[in-house]
Structure 1
Amino acid sequence: MSALRPWWLFFCLSVLGHDLRGSQAGSAPSAANTLVWGPGLEASVVLPARFFYIQAADSSGKNLTASPGEKTFEVKIVSPVEQFTRIWIQVLDRRDGSFLVRYRMYATYSELHIHVLLKNEHVAKSPFVLKGPVYHEGCNCPQESGSAWEAHMHCPQSFAQIERDLSFYPSVDPDRNAQEIPQRFGQRQSLCHYTVKDNKIYVRTFGEHVGFRIFMDAILLSLTRKVRLPDVEFFVNLGDWPLEKRKPPEKLHPIFSWCGSNNTRDIVMPTYDLTESVLETMGRVSLDMMSVQANTGPPWPEKNATAFWRGRDSRQERLELVKLSRAHPHIIDAAFTNFFFFKHDESLYGPLVKHVSFFDFFKYKYQINIDGTVAAYRLPYLLAGDSVVLKQDSGYYEHFYKQLRAWEHYIPVRADLGDLLEKIQWARDHDEEAKKIALAGQQFARTHLMGDTIFCYYYILIKEYAKLQVTEPKIRKDMEVVEQPADDLFPCSCHRTNVKDEL
């Protein structure tokens, strides 16, 4: 386990303060005692949406544990040399005495001053000065030294899931893989064959359904704008199911996939859904790890003590769940919003219900997480709320599942849902313990599933994979270059020094 990041140390202390010396709701926050911290206060941390935290504290130094009001704090970001700044700012009230401030820059600035104000009084060490250049997301200006970038991002030294996935591949031969993987998978599956050479991206696709390539293109383009990637060549599975079913000592082929399973050897990345939410925060997506934190529903005592689920019919157990809900409507509220896989059973398990806003899920204390075609990709967002998650035991997993602990971050449920009613009843009978699990799951999501960590995961995965290569990555026949998007409106000048790592 890596050392805790500086801003997470402050965050954990603020959460600890909630338990040990939290003030009563209604206490007035103090500008001098309130804490402000986070990566968005560092010029070197370039993210699509930068963010930092405010923890309100009263005049005696006690942390507030309830919201002092959505409009309590005002945040202004200005440049001393620019009359206008093109920056979109949101202050998100997390309703537990803390606030998440996010901002998206649409231009690069030589210097920024971040003002955090409480009734026109500066909070903590405000104004926070970011000595530039402060690069915006669209600026193609990679840090030449990967180790320097990792240090600026406060990346962990390693991820256990990456170490486990790569342990099956003592070496990687790009020449052999370039020939064998398309032969083995290219006709029946949808694949992308990527080469990164001199920090430029090249790709060739295989298969019919390659639309999900846009997510991988986007994260690679974003990464190469921020840091120079090592020369590397790899294959990405664009489908739902992991592909490499062989087991040692058979010849294994390294395939990057959004999802892993206990029966496969794919190399797992953050899901396309979580990846898009990071890239498009404050952009075209409305559901992301930040917006969820400001939309967690009513306080715990006011939540509906019913287990809630909505979704489509992508697995037999989901049919069983809806059947359970019909038999026990006072315990489970589960219904389908769409039929696709079991249309012939619609008369048995319908009628369909209208879609419910994801944020309205958190009106309920208990959230049921059940597999779809593979792992249910909503789990990060369910954890980020303040309801407790009842998670089905599953052979599928996302990149972070191995870090989760049953009964600490979620309540486990058997794969066949045979003990679901029993687990819901346990949660009802042990309300304080269930609430504690909900908050631990929420803290896990806040710590491990934010955008900075997702970028670190992708970079470290690519870096460690590149080290395994025994032949030189090449730009193969029929590969096309993946161009950086043009930014004619707000171009930037890059001031990086040209010092590369020795890999």
Structure 2
Amino acid sequence: MLCNGIIATEMHPNTLYVCCIVNLILFTLVVNHVHAEEVEEKECHKGDENCVSQETAGSATGKRRYLNPKDEKWQPYLDAVKSALRQYKDCEQDTGTCTCYDSVLEKDLAVWREKGGISQDQFHRALERGIGNHYQIINHRLYRSKKCMFAARCSGVEHFILKIIKKLPDMEFILNERDWPQSPKFADPLPVLSFSKVYSQHWDIMYPAWTFWEGGPAVWPLFPTGLGRWDLFRESLDKEAKKTPWDEKLSKAFFRGSRTSAQRDPLILLSRDDRDLVDAQYTKNQAWKSDADTLYMPPASEISLEEHCKYKYLFNFRGVAASFRLKHLFLCESLVFHVGDEWLEFFYPELKAWVHYIPVAQDLNGTRGRDFIWNHLHMEDVTCYWKKLLKEYSKLIKYKVVRNQELQQILPKEK
């Protein structure tokens, strides 16, 4: 890979990272003025100057065409966009059926199907390791360990389970409400549910995070108790996006967030060098103690997610695990730079690079990514995934679940 004429393998990782960011932003700016589909293609002969094989653009026709030398550096990106769009087929599902995510569930449960199910011994060995809360469903009642490290997170999860409790068989499961997954692939798999993981590194079974209802993340002072309900936030962001159509958005990359991952540092440093290109600053979080925690600059003020919709280019990074902001950013109808896509939530695998997020969608704005989240991530789809997950998981339990008297019953909250 070349970045401004320098071989990528010879560059420091941070330098390469910044270089690629600049190239991608410039690429979107260039192609917004000259749409790829509007470029006139003329056949030429191999000996002609600037004559290139059309195969380099992803075509197998064998024809050759003229290419402006100034466009050559962008051609790999255009090729990737065209290739991704040829291969991509949009998911078709009715709201509340969540069929788009069936393959995610199948992949997560495959290891336990191959093992013939989950034995009582396997479950209790995992339980003894303290990797999450013990839940049971007995006679359509929900029970949980008396202590939950993050009460609001447990409550956010329990909201969805209680909605479908009448349709669930008896079962028990371990639910990890921490950020970090608990079943690494260098060891035998553990039957534990976690909201996020890396496929190549963890056995954890993904569940829809508590944040769809409550439990964080808290953003001071805008959202001191958490971002709040996804169904309400969807509507708010959709209205805000309509106020600022693509042509009226600021042609600048934007990021606000705390320093939960050093992966974010290069963009922050780039912004300090060139504020016309990128506006990226660190904010406080609950662990902030000094300016060292915001890369030796005073923390910036928080900016609402609705305010993000004023910018054409929005950045998403992993935090401790997957970042909760991703689904919100898409609804701004801005172009999303999703940096480091190895960390997943249950709906991420259906989001495709070059189709839904940077590098670049075909129409070079955020409508394709926005449409996927808007059409396929309703609250009904979240509830549906919980139901499918727990029903399929229950089929893997190879023993009769007996009520644990040490667990407390969880009742719906009074409205």
Category of TM-score, reference length = shorter chain? 0.5 to 0.7
Number of residue pairs matched by the alignment: 306
The structural deviation recorded for 1:381 is 0.9
Please state how far the C-alpha of 1:196 moved relative to its aligned partner. Answer: 0.7
Match of 1:276 in 2: 214
Indicate which of 112, 127, 135 corresponds to 1:182: 127
Q: Does 1:228 align with 2:155?
A: no
Task: State the distance in 2 between where 1:272 and 1:181 align.
Answer: 22
SS of the residue corresponding to residue 196 of structure 1 reads strand
The alpha carbon displacement at 1:475 in A equals 1.5
Counterpart contact for 1:289–1:380, Cα < 8 Å? no
Using the alignment, how far apart are the partners of 1:381 and 1:347 within structure 2? 23
Superposed displacement of residue 153, structure 1: 4.5
Distance 1:284 1:333 in 2: 26
Larger helix proportion of the pair: 2
Measured in 2, the distance between the counterparts of 1:169 and 1:257 equals 16
Distance 1:268 1:386, change over 3 A: same
Q: Is 1:484 aligned to residue 391 of structure 2?
A: no
State yes or no: 1:335 paired with 2:263: no
Asked whether 1:314 is paired with 2:251, we answer no
Supply the distance in 1 between the matched residues of 2:373 and 2:96 (Cα, whole angstroms).
Answer: 18
Cross-structure match for 2:62:
none
Structure 1 letter corresponding to 2:262: Q
Given the superposition, is the C-alpha separation of residues 443 and 284 from structure 1 closer, same or farther in structure 2, using an over 3 Å criterion? closer
Question: Paired residue for 1:260?
Answer: 197
Q: Given the alignment, which residue of 316, 320, 333 partners 1:373?
A: 320
What secondary structure sits across from 1:163 in the alignment? helix
**Contact residue 261 and residue 397 of structure 1 kept, 8 A:** yes
Instruction: State the alpha-carbon separation in 1 of the partners of residues 312 and 238 from structure 2.
Output: 15
Deviation at 1:485, TM superposition (A): 3.6
Letter matched to residue 215 of structure 1 = G
| Preserved contact between residue 196 and residue 346 of structure 2 (Cα < 8 Å) | yes
Task: Look up the equivalent residue of 1:200 and give its one-letter code.
Answer: R
Q: Distance in 2 between matches of 1:317 and 1:348?
A: 12
User: How much does 1:208 deviate?
Assistant: 4.8
Q: Going by fraction, where is strand more abundant, 1 or 2?
A: 1
Asked if 1:302 is matched to 2:248, the reply is yes
Return the TM-score normalized by structure 2. 0.67
What amino acid sits opposite 1:257 in the alignment?
S
Q: What residue identity is the alignment partner of 1:345? A: A
Equivalences for residues 84-123 of structure 1 within 5 A: none
What are the Cα deviations for residues 347-385 of structure 1, in whole angstroms up to 9, with x where unaligned?
754221211121010100000011111111111111122
**CA-atom RMSD, angstroms?**
2.8
Aligned equivalent of 2:364, options 424, 430, 434: 434
- From 157, 162, 174, the equivalent of 1:216 is 157
1:239 matched residue in structure 2: 178
Partners of 1:153 and 1:403 in 2: how far apart?
Answer: 16
Q: Which amino acid aligns with 1:251?
A: D
346 and 361 in structure 1: CA distance in 2 versus 1, 3 angstrom threshold: same
Whether the 8 Å contact between 2:153 and 2:211 is mirrored in structure 1 is: no
Whole-Å separation in 1 of the counterparts to 2:336 and 2:374 = 15
Q: State the secondary structure of the residue aligned to 2:137.
A: strand
Equivalent in the alignment of 1:196? 137
| Alignment CA distance shift 1:154-1:347 (3 Å) | closer
Q: 1:402 aligns with which of 319, 332, 349?
A: 349
Q: Decide whether aligned partners of structure 1 residues 204 and 177 sit closer, same or farther in structure 2, where only a CA change above 3 A counts.
A: farther
How far apart, CA to CA, are the structure 2 residues paired with 1:268 and 1:318?
Answer: 25
Indicate how the Cα distance of structure 1 residues 469 and 151 shifts in structure 2: closer, same or farther if over 3 A, else same. farther
SS in 2 for 1:276: coil
Structure 1 unaligned runs (5+)?
Answer: 1-149, 278-282, 413-426, 488-503
Relative to structure 1, the CA distance from residue 336 to residue 275 in structure 2 (aligned partners, 3 Å threshold; closer, same or farther) is same
Q: How does 1:53-92 map to 2 (within 5 A)?
A: none
TM-score for the superposition, normalised by structure 1: 0.56
Is 1:474 matched up with 2:402?
yes
Following the alignment from structure 2 to structure 1, what is the Cα–Cα distance between the partners of residues 235 and 119? 38
Deviation for aligned residue 1:285: 4.3
CA contact (8 A) 1:158 1:460 kept: no
* RCO higher in structure (CA 8 A, sep ≥6): 2
Following TM superposition, by how much is the alpha carbon of 1:411 offset from its aligned partner in structure 2, in angstroms?
0.6
1:358 aligns with 2:295: no
Between the aligned partners of 2:322 and 2:289, the Cα distance in structure 1 is: 19
Assess, with a 3 A threshold, how the Cα gap between structure 1 residues 330 and 486 changes in structure 2: closer, same or farther: closer
Structure 2 equivalent of residue 114 of structure 1: none
Match of 1:350, as an amino acid? M
Kept in 2, the 8 Å contact 1:319–1:349? The answer is no
| Partner AA of 2:244 in structure 1 | P
Distance 1:172 1:194, change over 3 A: farther
Secondary structure of the equivalent of 1:305?
A: strand
CA displacement at 1:157 relative to structure 2: 8.6
**d(CA) in 2 for partners of 1:468, 1:220:** 18
The alpha-carbon deviation at position 258 of structure 1 amounts to: 1.0
Q: Which runs of 5+ in 2 are unaligned?
A: 1-92, 216-226
2:183 and 2:192 in contact (8 A); partners too: yes
Match of 2:109 in 1: 166
Partner secondary structure for residue 159 of structure 1: helix
**Displacement of 1:203:** 1.1
CA-to-partner distance for each residue in 1:461-497, whole Å, 9 max, x for gaps? Answer: 111111111101221241111123457xxxxxxxxxx
Is the Cα–Cα contact under 8 Å of residues 314 and 341 in structure 1 kept in the other structure?
no
